[in-house]
Chains A and B, each alone.
Chain A
Amino acid sequence: MSEDLTGLDTFPKLLMHHAKVRPERPAIREKDLGIWQTWSWGRFAEETRALAAALAAQGLKRGDHMALVGDNRPRLYAMMCAIQCLGAVPVPLYQDAVAAEMAFPIQNALITHALAEDQEQVDKLLEILPQCPTLAHIYFDDARGLRNYAQPQLMSYEKLLELGRDALKRDPAALDAEIAKGRGEDAAAMLFTSGTTGVPKGVVLTQHGLIDRSIAAAELESLGESDVVLAYLPPAWVGQFIFSLAQPMVTGYCICCPESAETVMSDMREIGPTYYFAPPRVLEALLTQVSIRMEDASRLKRAMYRYFMAVARSVGGALLDGRPVGLLDRLLYRAGDLLVYGPLRNVLGMSRVRIAYTAGEAIGPDLFRFYRSIGINLKQLYGSTETSVFVCIQPDGQVKADTAGPPVKGVELRFTPERELLIRSPGLFKEYYKNPQATAEVKDAQGWFHTGDAGYVDADGHLKIIDRVKDVGKLGAGPNAGTLFAPKYLENKLKFFPYVKEAVAFGHERDKVCAFINMDMEAVGNWAEKRNLAYSGYVDLASREEVGELIRECVEQVNADLAADPELAGSQIHRFLILHKELDADDGELTRTRKVRRRHVAEKYLPLVEALYNGAKSAHIEVQVRYEDGRTGMVSADLAIRDARIFAPAAAKRAA
């Protein structure tokens, strides 16, 4: 970050800058038909200009909104920049959303133009056309299967591009004038947050806010044009938007689009990104895969892995932080690097990773230390859509498993008496689109953003988040009345076990804490296979007595941990049950970013919650499920309810 970017206050201006100073450097790569194809900055800018001219000819104006539905593709990002060139606002939507979920953003922002990646997305948009009469133009990237579609709204990306090239030839200056009209305070993107409750809100982020935050973070990590990022998360998610549009625009680094969701692992190995982001669940899934494959390895390899991972656990983190380590340990670690960690990083595709971030939810300390111990510089950050992501980042050498690090340059933090975190930063969003009431609720007159997260700053100046303010509750009645109940904290502790995929804890104003557990099919399935436990499917496996015992052990370990903490000893989990289906975003049980919608789950599974608290041994439940093709069906099951051991605070010390 040594380039002078003054005066370049919008993304289109930055793009034209890169096209001038580094026209031949790679801007974006895509694996197509098995081969990585590269777009240079020059080509990226050229295509963007043509698209912008075409969109102008098609009637897209300053201040309009345009939807983009699809996976990470060069064309998608070129289109986003093209929209911004005209001063219009790109609205990326989650590509796995069902059609009905796309209707709201389109109606809300009166969207007239949309880019759809393929037939699947086009079908969804056509399906909601009756509810969205404003939608007049749908451009599609992949024409496969669309040959017989005669809807007048449809136009192929190639056709659009051709249109734009012609328009550009006729009047090349018009577009430059449009780009020059852009201002820092313009809206750069509108991202819809699903929110854990209520209707989605369109978060309007400004050019200035996104650019300022991207520069601040890029300076902290000294990102430059030689860095490489794999773009594999939904473009509608603010993190992916930052890593694959905002930051490349300020640093000139290259982003790579994998071939398909299934090939991410091997594409990552081929690309070798230097800058990487993964939410904890992805890191977890990778580690699970590694563990499963190690269990199938030869005895010698298993022994080597065990031995050197123990070495890594004891000194790996210290080496990465630059703390003093004895000579013998250094040598042992070096040997381990040669035999185990190096190859392992290679398999994970992380050989060249210089900076890796994780955020979005709490990460298990064991999981976090695993990656750091094998020499991957994994760090945590704190941020949200409303703050243009970068609020706190752990700087190199100051990495802790349970904090999010100190505030990034330019950010101010404050806490209310209820421990709610307030933020003031140049990256704060402008408003919730057409929702002044919601905006006023979270953004006060002095410009503080009320995050809704409860936390505090620890002795080293690092931010620590415990839970959502509104979720932190108290136990009512009974021997533990008044005890602090932080459901997310408990759920995360449960989820740190590989066998637990999701958990939902109940306890606010109840006499004790109880929980729903979602087993992890991959881990439990593998565990069952090792024990010759035959099962026919998810429901069958989840109802097995053996699995119940397995989960009970996990719950009891959590209880033992909790007993050691005087504040939380009263919120041990008394009773639990294993759900017969996976909580799913399609059924409204998770948000699109896979966070549990606790209240919705509690309502939907009311008979189960009641059974947990009335002492029943089992409960019957019948719920509606939504299949991937949009159809619905009913699933019913009888679930066993199990008790878990409760530890007295003193007994726990011995157990721990």
Chain B
Amino acid sequence: MRETEMTEGRLQAAERAHRIGGVILAVESVSLSFGGVKALSEVSFDVREHEVRAIIGPNGAGKSSMLNVINGVYHPQKGTIRLQGREFNDMDSHEAAKMGIARTFQNIALFKGMTVLDNVMTGRNLKMRASFLEQALWYGRARREELEHRRAVEEVIDFLEIQHIRKTPVARLPYGLQKRVELARALAAEPKLLLLDEPMAGMNLEEKQDMCRFILDVNDHYGTTIVLIEHDMGVVMDISDRVVVLDYGRKIGDGTPEEVRGNQAVIDAYLGVAR
């Protein structure tokens, strides 16, 4: 069973291959340290348009730090980040969002008391143009915009098949669905680049399969470039086009799943034994 799933995964990757474009994000010798602790040292890799790129590595390898650097939460002491050719060194997360980067979090970061619909609607925040006054008075652009955004949000809701929980407060949902809502919110921002921090952590097999399907669907349908951190090796090997391997803040491997699987340094550091 495992074997057929793997081949299917590769087939899908092959079908999408012609669409993968040029470099959209380039990370060049980035180093980040907190006091004496070196979280990242001299890490370089690139992400191509429309691809699914995975970052893997043992605990504490610097995966989440890398993601935080990309979307401007941390500022690296050394190195540059180029997004579509433009260089950013001191970008904050707000600017990153404006640049078309959206993300989900390792620990779900939704507004627990709000409904799914409202949560996903917050993903449209940056696209709202109406002024505070117009919003408050429900006048002018506010009304028109709300309709427009609601439509976009409903399309995402339809896409991720969460219509039945549209009006349910997030706190009442099971974990797997909350993760899906978080993905919905990120998608509502219509990102160019989607960062997923352990999208399958803590899920059961069925939820993982669903999530894999949604990630591939998002990539295929919207053409969104995806960078994901994941611990489940099966998932990573199945859905990624290319994989970066970090260990103690250094890059020790980079390539297709097959290449990474055969890389001795990676095997030693992380996988242990070749499967």
Residues of A within 8 A of B (CB): 33-35, 144-145, 147-148, 259-260, 262-263, 266, 631
Contact = CB atoms under 8 A, between A and B. Distances in A.
Given A33-B158, A34-B157, A631-B1, A263 B164 contact: yes
A525 B180 CA distance: 26
Interface string B143-170: 0000000110011011101011011000
B95 interface: no
Interface string B79-91: 0000000000000
Nearest to A261: B164
A262 B162 CA distance: 9
Contacts of A148: 15, 220
Nearest to A627: B206
Contact of B164 (A35, A144, A260): A260
Contacts of A259: 163-164
B158 A145 contact: no
Interface of B: 1, 15, 150-151, 154-155, 157-159, 161, 163-164, 166-167, 217, 220-221
B163 A34 contact: yes
A170 to B, nearest CB: 36
A35 B155 CA distance: 12
B163 A263 contact: yes
Contacts of A260: 161, 163-164
Contacts of A263: 163-164
Contact of B155 (A33, A145, A147): A33
A148 B219 CA distance: 13
Nearest to A633: B1
Contacts of A33: 151, 154-155, 157-158
A70 B159 CA distance: 18
A145 B167 contact: no
B125 to A, nearest CB: 20
9 contacts: A34-B150, A34-B166, A144-B159, A144-B217, A145-B221, A148-B220, A260-B161, A262-B164, A263-B164
Nearest to B117: A34
B221 A266 contact: no
Chief secondary structure at chain B's binding surface: helix
A629 to B, nearest CB: 9
A34 B15 CA distance: 33
Contacts of A145: 217, 220-221
Contacts of A144: 159, 217, 221
A144 B157 CA distance: 14
Nearest to A142: B158
B62 to A, nearest CB: 36
Contacts of B164: 259-260, 262-263, 266
Nearest to A631: B1
Given A260-B163, A262-B163, A266-B167, A34 B154 contact: yes
- Among B163, B166, B217, find the residue whose CB has the most chain A CB atoms closer than 10 A: B163
Given A34-B154, A34-B163, A266-B167, 17 more contacts: A33-B151, A33-B155, A33-B157, A34-B157, A34-B166, A35-B154, A144-B159, A144-B217, A144-B221, A147-B220, A147-B221, A148-B15, A259-B163, A262-B163, A262-B164, A263-B164, A266-B164
Contacts of B15: 148
Contacts of B163: 34, 259-260, 262-263
A271 to B, nearest CB: 15
A35 B158 CA distance: 12
Nearest to B166: A34
3 shortest A-B CB distances, which residue pairs?
A262-B164, A33-B154, A34-B154
B115 to A, nearest CB: 12
Contacts of B159: 144
Most buried by A among B158, B159, B166, B221: B158
Contacts of B221: 144-145, 147
Contacts of B167: 266
Nearest to B150: A34
A419 to B, nearest CB: 46
A262 B177 CA distance: 14
Nearest to A628: B206
Contacts of A631: 1
Nearest to A31: B163
A34 B155 CA distance: 9
A33, A144, A147, A266 — most chain B CB neighbours (10 Å): A33
B5 to A, nearest CB: 11
A35 B1 CA distance: 41
B216 to A, nearest CB: 10
A34 B150 CA distance: 9
A33 B149 CA distance: 12
Nearest to A35: B154
A262 B167 CA distance: 13
B47 to A, nearest CB: 23
Contacts of A34: 150, 154, 157, 163, 166
Contacts of B155: 33
A34 B158 CA distance: 9
